[in-house]
Amino acid sequence: MNLIVCLKQILDPDIPGRDFKVDPISKEAVRGAANLVTNIFCENALETALQFKEKNGTGKITAICYAPESGEDTLRKALAMRADEGVQVLNDGLAHPDPLMVARTLAAAIRKIGTFDVVMVGRESGDWGVGQTGGLLAEELGVPYVGFVDHIETSGSGVKLKRQTDAGFEIVEASTPLVISITNDEHNVPRVPKTRDVMMSFRQSLTKWTLSDLGVSASESYYEVAELGIPVKESSCELVTGETLEERVSQLAEKILAVKRAL
């Protein structure tokens, strides 16, 4: 099976709150000293793909990253994790790609790659958290879409997916080709690549395409960021007091019971 995993490179979401700043003019987070990392759900997706390939013994995993030049790091890491090929779509310095633009670009790249069975994306990104790439991409490609998947296996000519729902999980059978979004689960925690593979990844070549290579141009706007700000939230916490732990816990219990009684 041909698996295509779309990877997004984002500002390190673990950056301490104190270091997090936004630029009100460009309406983006200020990078500062923070690193760019691969979005965690995208890594979950790649891990899911790798496990699927390992289990089936065959298959090809192509990683795509739509980003500026820096996206190369994300693809190198994907290769180090043992994706088979890396395709970088350079965004030509186009800031703020909206979700539809991303989906159209990825769709064009995927069509250029050729045949595919399953396209995997992360359920959402740790920066803008839009959560639409999978659905829009499916529409652009004209294939079905299943969201919040955490496991994939083959079933007949198609695939069998386990996906998380609010109440638990569902097993979905689907024909290929299709697009799925991947969510996290204890089984798809992304692997740490072997150091040898990290070093090898620098010796592999990447395919690089520009938007004009793909025949994509910025079209009508899907949406715009009108405002971006850091919410100020002040609240003071009353720490329970008391001589002994017993007294303090009593107070705590009292406060909890007060809420319960008010329900």
Smallest distance, another protein to C-beta of residue 127, A: 6
| Choice between 175 and 217, CB closer to another protein | 175
Phi then psi dihedrals of residue 155, to 5 deg? -155, 110
The Cα angle at residue 107 between residues 102 and 113, in degrees rounded to 5? 130
Q: Nearest distance from residue 256's CB to another protein, in Å?
A: 6
Q: Are 21 and 30 in contact (CB under 8 A)?
A: yes
Measured from the CB atom, the residue of 212 and 247 that comes closer to another protein is 247
- State which residue, 164 or 207, has the beta carbon closest to another protein: 164
| 90 versus 136: smaller Cβ distance to another protein | 136
- Give how far Cα 240 sits from Cα of 205, 219, 261, Å: 60, 58, 19
Q: Is there a contact between 211 and 91 (Cβ–Cβ < 8 Å)? A: yes
CA 106 to chain centre: 14
Count of alpha carbons within 13 Å of 22, Cβ hemisphere only?
A: 13
Do 62 and 113 meet the contact criterion of CB atoms below 8 Å apart?
yes
Closest CA to 27 of 222, 232, 230, 219: 230
* Cβ 216 to another protein shortest distance, Å: 16
Q: Which two tokens stand for residue 80?
A: 């180090």
Q: How far is the CB of 151 from another protein (least distance, A)?
A: 12
Q: Which one, 186 or 243, has the nearer CB to another protein?
A: 186
Do 172 and 166 touch, CB atoms closer than 8 A?
Answer: no
Query: Given the structure tokens 């959560």, which residue do they identify?
Result: 131
Cβ closest to another protein, residue 169 vs residue 207: 169
**Minimum CB separation from another protein for residue 251, in Å?**
8
Q: Considering the complex, what minimum distance in angstroms separates the CB of residue 164 from another protein?
A: 6
Peptide bond into 177 cis (omega under 30): yes
The least distance separating another protein from the CB of residue 219, rounded to whole angstroms, comes to 11
DSSP assignment letter at 175: P
Q: Give the torsion sign (CA, 56, 142, 44, 6).
A: positive
Could you tell me the two tokens for 28? 């983006």
User: Is the CB of 57 or the CB of 239 nearer to another protein?
Assistant: 239
Q: Considering beta carbons, is residue 81 or 214 the nearer one to another protein?
A: 81
Q: How far is the CB of 255 from another protein (least distance, A)?
A: 5
